[in-house]
Amino acid sequence: AGMIKKKHNWISMLCLPFLIINGKVEIRAIRSFPSVPETFWEQHTQSDALWNQLQRHVDLHFNPILRPEKSSTFLERSIFDESLLYRSYFEVTGMDKVRDAVEKLPRQIQEFASYMNRRDYPILIHPDGDCGAQSKREEEPPLILFAIKSTVLNFRNRRAIRQTWGQVGGGYIRRVFLLGKETSEDLGVDVSHILRAESERHGDILQWDFQDTFFNLTLKDVLFWSWFSRRCSQPLFVFKGDDDVFVNTPKLVAYLHHQLEKQRPLHTMDEFMVGEVIGSASPNRVKRSKYFIPDGFYRGRYPSYAGGGGVVYSGGLARRLHNISKTIHLFPIDDVYVGMCMMRLNAHPVHHPAFLTFDFRAKEEDQPCSYHTVLLVHKRSPRELVDLWAHIKNTSKQSENVIMLGMQEDLFRQISALISSPQNE
């Protein structure tokens, strides 16, 4: 019984760092190899929920007790291709009891489960250049790539972004819109020729051959990371967000320059992610919600994650996310999936109050210069984007000294530190 208990404890610590030295397993603090908190993937080792079973099958591959000949450091784990995911998917879903359980899931979840092993979707439309649309006057490596999730029919959203916060002038910005495919049967009209004309004119469309649905937003992340890792060696940061957000680009550029000064000396850029962080959330069990995840598909709490409306991370982290995603099964909620990948990297998104993915709180928007205090706000219509951008430009002079949300606390701490300094006593 003692041996069984010990073996179970090892299985429950699948993600702890370990080395095998002279036949003995030693726990070591290997950088970027995480220990998963108890609240994450709860009952991961016992649950019969489909996703938990699939992921357990992958994790057992790296267990040092069950497979000592295949024990892997984090680096070795990160360079796997997707073959391990494919193999685990077919072995788990091939079991009779699993097939019976899947048939009891809601139709939309069943559809997702039927193709969640696929990641080999070809690109239908490529953007111009090596890494999205760019300024002709680009004289130095770009600071940030705006990777914006859009859909085929959202022509007006994309046009408004190009005219406002997504402009590529000045050399700091590159831009690409991420799209799946929607058939003429789905849309009721064939607009493929219009989309190709838009791509030829602006050179910023990246479209894959998968059905563009809410649950497939995760595919946009995974396929974008793969494309970015192959094509984008220069951008220092990535903004990944929706096409109905407003971004205060001047403030964001200034903020990221400040982060470069602060993070580079600490060598922490490869872990940098910032946004509006949601912590210790539970799966939505309300059947009428688009975020509904039944307990037959997933059990446990979610890891901390940055709201998918708009998040910024480093280019180095994007490449690390690409690698680690090859060992994590797809999940229907895109921002939760990114949180899962971050947890596996032992990296943690940083919360910033100026990312308002759930909009302003009551009456805050009515305050003077409110839009000069934010980095991002969701959600806004194309017309509102144009009006807000004009407002930002027209009031920039009188708002030069406006403090961004989240900076007030830093300022108060600095003032308090100066006041309490022994030199001031």
Whether residue 150 is found in the same domain as residue 206: yes
pLDDT tens digits, 351-367:
999 999 999 988 888 77
- Would 288 be classed as within a structural domain? no
- Would 384 be classed as within a structural domain? no
- Could you give the 3-state DSSP secondary structure of residue 246? strand
Whether residue 182 is found in the same domain as residue 261: yes
Whether residue 128 is found in the same domain as residue 260: yes
The DSSP secondary structure of 257-282, one letter per residue, reads: HHHHHHHGGGT-GGG-EEE-EE-S--
Q: Which residues contact 43 (CB under 8 A, 6 or more apart)?
A: 52, 299, 300
β-pairing, 144-149 vs 237-242, is parallel
Q: Which residue has the higher pLDDT, 97 or 26?
A: 97
Whether residue 100 is found in the same domain as residue 135: no
For the chain, the domain total comes to 2
The DSSP secondary structure of 162-202, one letter per residue, reads: HHTTT--TTSSEEEEEEEEE--HHHHSS--HHHHHHHHHHH
Whether residue 138 is found in the same domain as residue 247: yes
- Would 149 be classed as within a structural domain? yes
Q: In terms of Cα–Cα distance, which of 323, 329, 93 is closest to 219?
A: 329
Whether residue 74 is found in the same domain as residue 163: no
CA–CA gap between residue 68 and residue 75 (Å, rounded): 17
- Would 306 be classed as within a structural domain? no
Q: Which of 80, 115, 150 is the last residue of a domain?
A: 115
What tokens were used for 214?
Answer: 């809410």
Whether residue 136 is found in the same domain as residue 251: yes
Amino acid at 419: I
Report CA torsion sign: 41, 43, 46, 50: negative
Whether residue 131 is found in the same domain as residue 156: yes
Q: Which of 235, 266, 297 is the last residue of a domain?
A: 266
**Per this entry, what is the length of the chain?**
425
β-pairing, 310-314 vs 305-306, is unpaired
Weakest-pLDDT range from 10-19, 113-122, 287-296: 10-19
Whether residue 62 is found in the same domain as residue 20: yes
């709201």: which residue's tokens?
Answer: 307
The DSSP secondary structure of 318-351, one letter per residue, reads: HHHHHHHGGGS---SSHHHHHHHHHHHTT--PEE
Would the pLDDT of 36 be above 70? no
pLDDT tens digits, 200-242:
999 999 999 999 999 999 999 999 999 999 999 899 999 999 9
Would the pLDDT of 111 be above 70? yes
- Would 200 be classed as within a structural domain? yes
Give residue 75's pLDDT.
47
- Would 330 be classed as within a structural domain? no
Whether residue 128 is found in the same domain as residue 217: yes
Q: How confident is residue 255, by pLDDT bands cut at 50, 70 and 90? A: very high
CA–CA gap between residue 287 and residue 264 (Å, rounded): 45
Average pLDDT over residues 133-138: 82
Would the pLDDT of 7 be above 60? no
Average pLDDT over residues 132-152: 89
Query: Residue 274: beta bridge partners?
Result: 312, 350
- Would 66 be classed as within a structural domain? yes
């530190």: which residue's tokens?
Answer: 417
Q: Which residue has the higher pLDDT, 403 or 387?
A: 387
Would the pLDDT of 30 be above 80? no
pLDDT tens digits, 301-313:
999 999 989 999 9
| Residue 80 structural domain | 2-115
Q: In terms of Cα–Cα distance, which of 121, 301, 295, 296 is closest to 220?
A: 121
Whether residue 29 is found in the same domain as residue 67: yes
- Would 252 be classed as within a structural domain? yes
Q: Which of 115, 144, 171 is the last residue of a domain?
A: 115
Average pLDDT over residues 125-150: 89
Whether residue 19 is found in the same domain as residue 93: yes
Give residue 12's pLDDT.
35
CA–CA gap between residue 319 and residue 230 (Å, rounded): 9
Q: Is 33 left (phi over 0), alpha (psi -120 to 50) or beta?
A: beta
